[in-house]
């Protein structure tokens, strides 16, 4: 059985499917749209319209890149405020044209550089959380690799949250947590266990809705098969959500967000 730290390593595997793989194998007719209309076109977060199954959708996702040059250009998937503002700009178009949104989450976190902070990184993430919570169109979220802190959560507010089997989703990295709690990065494995960042833990806690199975050995062993499993789960989620009345959908989303973090003393250890 894989430990939490084993799954962290798998989630970070550079051979794991990246956004480009999901665009190629899950989507068709993808047309990328660029820029936040304020500063620039952040390559750490990419968006565009596409078809998934029978659904015309807006696709948003963190882009880590597959080559060293792409890694550097995309800040290894760590978006700037411009990226989150671009995501909101495109999401407004999806709402206008009644298109559902599918987001692919895979980032160590938002970019913490000086320029990002000067341009309002925290404000952009906070605004994105509010924006997606109120958006009048169905939203499916897929956590595919690292779901790191606010950088992930900014595009992870949705009506249905799917998580790949070996992905992780956490408020902080295990190394960061170990450094804060024990002042010892060598305690990262213990922190990973304590944080409850794996898909089974998060499903049990109610933070995600569905775990997408991966090929034996992890998604990096067969990217095409992994993408096929994601596509099947996304299409099923979209089929269910588009059938729901919009007012009811928004009410359910509100209730879902309000229930996050509820503590029930009578629940068994490890439960919600």
| pLDDT score recorded for residue 265 | 54
Say which residue the tokens 């977060």 belong to: 45
| pLDDT score recorded for residue 259 | 85
Q: What is the C-alpha to C-alpha distance for residues 146 and 153, in angstroms, rounded to an integer?
A: 11
Residue 265 lies in a domain: no
Q: What is the C-alpha to C-alpha distance for residues 260 and 272, in angstroms, rounded to an integer?
A: 10
- Average pLDDT for residues 5-31, to the nearest whole number? 94
> Higher model confidence: residue 72 or residue 245?
245
| pLDDT score recorded for residue 272 | 42
Say which residue the tokens 């034996």 belong to: 216
The CA-atom distances, in angstroms, between 227 and each of 19, 24, 222 are: 10, 9, 9
| pLDDT score recorded for residue 266 | 56
pTM of the shown model: 0.92
DSSP class per residue in 114-128: HHHHHTTHHHHHHHH
Q: What is the C-alpha to C-alpha distance for residues 144 and 259, in angstroms, rounded to an integer?
A: 24
| pLDDT score recorded for residue 9 | 94
Say which residue the tokens 């807006």 belong to: 58
Number of domains in the chain: 1
Residue 65 lies in a domain: yes
Say which residue the tokens 């007012």 belong to: 247
Residue 263 lies in a domain: no
**CATH number of the domain that 210 lies in?**
3.90.226.10
Boundaries of domain holding 77: 4-253
- How confident is the model over 59-96, as pLDDT tens digits? 999 999 888 888 888 888 899 999 999 999 999 999 99
Residue 235 lies in a domain: yes
- Average pLDDT for residues 210-236, to the nearest whole number? 96
pLDDT at 18 over 50: yes
Neighbour-count burial of 86, counting CB atoms closer than 10 A to its CB (0-12 exposed, 13-18 middle, 19+ buried): buried
3-state SS class at 60: strand
- How confident is the model over 146-203, as pLDDT tens digits? 998 899 999 999 999 999 999 999 999 999 999 999 999 889 999 999 999 999 999 9
Neighbour-count burial of 255, counting CB atoms closer than 10 A to its CB (0-12 exposed, 13-18 middle, 19+ buried): exposed
Residue 264 lies in a domain: no
- Average pLDDT for residues 194-214, to the nearest whole number? 94
pLDDT at 268 over 80: no
The mean pLDDT value of the chain amounts to: 92
Percentage of the chain beyond pLDDT 70 is 96
């Amino acid at each position: 059985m894989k430990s939490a730290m084993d799954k962290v390593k798998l989630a970070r595997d550079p051979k794991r499917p990246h956004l480009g793989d999901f665009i190629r194998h899950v989507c068709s007719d993808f047309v990328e749209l660029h820029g936040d209309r304020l500063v620039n076109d952040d390559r750490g977060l990419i968006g565009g319209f596409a078809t998934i199954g029978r659904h015309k959708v807006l696709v948003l996702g963190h882009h880590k890149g597959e080559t060293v040059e792409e890694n550097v250009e995309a800040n290894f998937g760590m978006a700037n405020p411009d990226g989150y503002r671009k995501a909101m700009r495109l999401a407004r178009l999806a709402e206008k044209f009644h298109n559902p949104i599918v987001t692919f989450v895979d980032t160590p976190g938002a970019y913490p550089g000086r320029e990002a902070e000067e341009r309002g990184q925290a404000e952009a993430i906070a605004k994105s959380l509010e924006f997606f919570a109120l958006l009048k169109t169905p939203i499916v979220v897929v956590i595919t690799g690292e779901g790191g802190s606010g950088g992930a959560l900014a595009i992870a507010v949705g009506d249905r949250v799917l998580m790949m089997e070996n992905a992780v989703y956490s408020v902080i990295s295990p190394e960061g947590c170990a450094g804060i709690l024990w002042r010892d990065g060598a305690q990262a494995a213990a922190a990973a266990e304590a944080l409850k960042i794996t898909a089974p833990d998060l499903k049990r806690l109610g933070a995600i809705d569905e775990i997408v199975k991966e090929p034996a050995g992890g998604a990096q062993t067969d990217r095409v098969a992994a993408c096929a499993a994601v596509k099947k789960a996304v299409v099923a989620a979209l089929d269910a959500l588009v059938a729901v009345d919009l007012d009811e959908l928004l009410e359910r989303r509100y209730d879902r967000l309000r229930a996050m973090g509820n503590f029930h003393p009578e629940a068994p250890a490890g439960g919600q």
